Amino acid sequence: MVPASGRKNQDIGKARGRRVAPASKGWCMAFFRVEDLSMWFGGLAALEGVGFEIEKGSIFSVIGPNGAGKTTLFNCINGIYKPSGGSIRFKDQELVGKKPDKVARMGIARTFQNIELFTHMSLMENLMLGRHVFMKTGLFRGGFMWGRRSYAGREEQIHRKKVEEIIDLLELQGVRDYPVGMLPYGTQKLVELGRALALEPELLLLDEPCAGMNSEEKQDMIFWIKDIQDELGVTILLIEHDMAMVMDISDRILVINFGRPITEGTPAQVQIHPEVLTAYLGEEESDECAA
Amino acid sequence: MDMKRDYYEDVAIFTSRWIIFWFCALILGLALFPFIADKFLKTYYVYVANCIAVNIIVAMGLNLLVGYTGQISLGHAGFFAIGAYATIVFMAKLGLPFVVSLFLAASLSALFGFLLGLPALRLEGPYLSIATLGFGLTVTQIIGRVEYFGGRQGLHAPELVIGPLHLDSDISRYYLFVLIAVLVCLFARNLVKTKVGRAFIAIRDADIAAETMGVNLTLYKTLAFAVSAFLAGLAGGLYAFILGYIEPEIFNMLMSIMFLAMVVVGGLGSIFGAIAGAVLLTWLDLTLRNILEVPFLGEWLKVMSRSWFSITGVSNIQYIVFGSIMVLIMMFEPLGIYGLWLRMKKYWKTWPF
């Protein structure tokens, strides 16, 4: 690829969506594409004209100052909010208008910025809930589970085995049966990641997975995110404030501010973009951050 | 040792020989109880046991709703009433056999539970409790005004017949009620350990996260209401035969609150808690009704009443005692009886030290 000039990346949104689409046809079916997405809360535009495309198997980061609309974007993708306009297409299916549980069934899992675990359930049960969409045990088969050969019993065993694989991957064996509310913060973040993985997602939305972690935990988290991308082939959409981490692991980055996209490109392109430097990284420290 | 060797042990009930032993002991104890009560105590205690069995069924259902799904209900006396009335109407007026009537009545109650669950999708906490309270009050008002249901006069329960068995005494009914109560407990316990129960708990702990993990909130919230109402209706159908006669006034608001109190005092979100709460509160309720006959306390209350209260003061005094016991339990153990049980287990685990 010819390194695009800053100017070329500058004008995105509606115009960009049109221009990129034909170019991308040649090498990849649009795995995940957001087009001209807008979200209004009364008179306030939380998102306006946001558009981007994610290639399968890549790590795509969204950065922007607090209140830029990053989490709103996630909530729109998930179906927690209904966008005011635009479209979100995942494997050629429209996500706008779908309920969150339908979106989950299509293979999109997420973690939350403020941990949203089922605090009174054990770690194992939290991950088992992640297997919810794969299980068929209903009220009757579950309530009348009479033994290990019953339908519910067999299904439990199959999925517990799957969950055990995730526990092995994330090295959580020691706290398997602890109520997650009792676990330390870093571990809880990890459990959230595990729960999302239990859904066997094709697209994983990570909302600040490293927030509030110490540097060692952060290193581990980066390692796991890379692992998930490489070994499980999961496409990752990431929100993160830690610039070093974002620049390190992202394939592409979208910068938004006040709900509007500023630029999109590879880490190298984004780092030198003048508007990004002024809007997000701050004028004074621009040299330091770009380095 | 609690080392697990296979995945099924995570959900199995009988994980060790001790549990099998105690379960068998419990079943044996329950089977022998009427004979012991008949021989050494009063047959009245079998009646108490029947009431307890019925309340355990309701508490189990309410616990699934309040304790596990986190949806409060102050209207369970309504479901209880629907179950009781429907069972009797199906038997006496339509001539259906008992088992069929009971099942149909409970299903009807579940249908109402489902309908009440629909507004509950948009309501939470205090708003939901008021909505359900309204439902509970409405049901008895409607039943009381319909002549077909006996109006204010109430209905007499027909004879309880299952096939060749005539269950016309407390002791014979005891076995039916306890059997159903035990089955309901096992059902609830299995339910909360499998997919549906996990979805319930997930909705209680973090509903948005549950939704993004693929749990259909509409389905599972209404399902929780329906299951809970089914069990309340089932219990209501049985309760009609304990009383032998039902009228709308029985199913008042106080009854709904008693059901809720059982679950809360026992310990929210625990099967053991629901059983313990139902046992304790039913027993207290029935015992304190005759509080003036209780040794020492009764005499003391009479003296107190004569010197301090008005003439009518002593008649409702059991509620004061009842209330103070509940306040004390909740003050010292917010997790209820289940919390006490947990602490006791912890204490004995490391006992000599």
pLDDT, tens digit, 9 for 90 and up, residues B270-310: 999 999 999 999 988 888 877 777 778 777 877 777 777 66
Out of B188, B198, B209, the one facing A128 most closely (by C-beta) is B198
**Averaged pLDDT for residues B189-204:** 92
**Averaged pLDDT for residues A88-100:** 90
Contact B217, B211 (CB under 8 A): yes
Cα distance between residue A102 and residue A78, in whole Å: 9
Nearest to B181 by CA among B169, B192, B171, B173: B173
Separation in Å, CA A59 to CA A93, A225, A233, A235: 21, 9, 10, 6
More confident position, B3 or A119? A119
Give the model's confidence band at B332: pLDDT under 50 very low, under 70 low, under 90 confident, else very high.
Answer: confident
B128 domain-assigned:
yes
Out of B6, B212, B227, the one facing A139 most closely (by C-beta) is B227
DSSP B44-56: HHHHHHHHHHHHH
Cβ of residue A153 closer than 8 Å to a chain B Cβ = yes
Cβ of residue A94 closer than 8 Å to a chain B Cβ = no
User: A270 Cβ partners below 8 Å, 6+ apart?
Assistant: A63, A253, A255, A263, A264, A276
CB pairs under 8 A between A and B: 122
B298 domain-assigned:
no
B55 domain-assigned:
yes
More confident position, A141 or A279? A141
pLDDT at A279 over 80: no
For residue range B167-184, what is the model confidence (pLDDT) as tens digits? Answer: 788 888 899 999 999 999
Nearest to B202 by CA among A262, A120, A2: A120
Contact between chains at A132 and B217 (C-beta distance less than 8 A): no
- How many Cβ atoms from other residues are within 10 Å of residue B126's Cβ? 9
B301 domain-assigned:
no
Q: Where are the domains of chain A?
A: 1-107+208-291, 121-200
- Which domain range does residue B112 map to? 46-253
B168 domain-assigned:
yes
Separation in Å, CA A260 to CA A12, A14, A227, A254, A289: 9, 11, 32, 10, 22
Give the model's confidence band at B312: pLDDT under 50 very low, under 70 low, under 90 confident, else very high.
Answer: low
Give the model's confidence band at A66: pLDDT under 50 very low, under 70 low, under 90 confident, else very high.
Answer: confident
Contact B116, B75 (CB under 8 A): yes
Give the model's confidence band at B223: pLDDT under 50 very low, under 70 low, under 90 confident, else very high.
Answer: very high
Cβ of residue A120 closer than 8 Å to a chain B Cβ = yes
For residue range A103-158, what is the model confidence (pLDDT) as tens digits? Answer: 999 999 999 988 899 999 999 999 999 999 998 888 888 888 887 888 888 888 89
User: A248 Cβ partners below 8 Å, 6+ apart?
Assistant: A222
**Averaged pLDDT for residues A198-217:** 90
Contact between chains at B7 and A161 (C-beta distance less than 8 A): yes
B32 domain-assigned:
no
pLDDT at position A14 is 37
Contact B89, B149 (CB under 8 A): yes
User: A98 Cβ partners below 8 Å, 6+ apart?
Assistant: A79, A106
How many structural domains is chain B composed of?
1
B8 domain-assigned:
no
Task: Specify the fold of A1-107+208-291.
Answer: Rossmann fold (3.40.50)
B153 domain-assigned:
yes
Cβ of residue A189 closer than 8 Å to a chain B Cβ = no
Q: CB-based burial of residue B59 (10 Å sphere; 0-12 exposed, 13-18 middle, 19+ buried)?
A: buried
Contact between chains at B205 and A121 (C-beta distance less than 8 A): yes
Contact between chains at A116 and B10 (C-beta distance less than 8 A): no
**Strand B155-156 versus strand B245-246 pairing type:** antiparallel
- Collect all residues of chain A within an 8 Å Cβ-Cβ radius of residue B208: 80, 100, 116
DSSP B170-237: HHHHHHHHHHHHHHHHHHHHHHHHSHHHHHHHHHHH-HHHHHHTT--HHHHHHHHHHHHHHHHHHHHH
DSSP B101-141: HHHHHHHHHHHHHHHHHHHHTT--HHHHHHHHHHHHHHHHH
pLDDT at B314 over 90: no
